Amino acid sequence: MADYHRCEYCGDQFSSIIELNIHKAGNHASKEAENMRYPCKRCGEVLSSPREVAEHMKTDHPEAVRWINFFWWVITIATILFVLWKYLT
């Protein structure tokens, strides 16, 4: 069997991706749900934790991270200005 699909949870092998998906839905549904929890909003890649999503963003979408940093910087400055304005008036 040259072209087989291996279950990444228990190592069972299947001749088609459909059989594998049925097997995973039946035997590892909770693990699948866990894995589906953190998809990358930019490319749809699914990661297993928010930390991994952050790492993925840094390596695969550095321009997005730069934009988010800029966004947070603007919010921080705006908050400081707002607090100063409230304090002075």
- At 72, list the tokens: 């947070």
Among 31, 32, 35, 40, binds Zn ion (CB under 5 A): 40
Describe the crossing of helices 62-88 and 50-60 by its angle, rounded to 10 degrees. Answer: 110
**Gap between the Cα atoms of 54 and 40, Å rounded:** 9
Among 15, 18, 34, 42, binds Zn ion (CB under 5 A): 42
- What would the x/- binding string for Zn ion be over residues 43 to 62, using CB under 5 A? x-x--------------x--
- At 49, list the tokens: 């934790």
Query: Does residue 64 belong to the site contacting Zn ion (CB under 5 A)?
Result: no
Q: Which residues bind Zn ion (CB under 5 A)?
A: 7, 9-10, 12, 40, 42-43, 45, 60
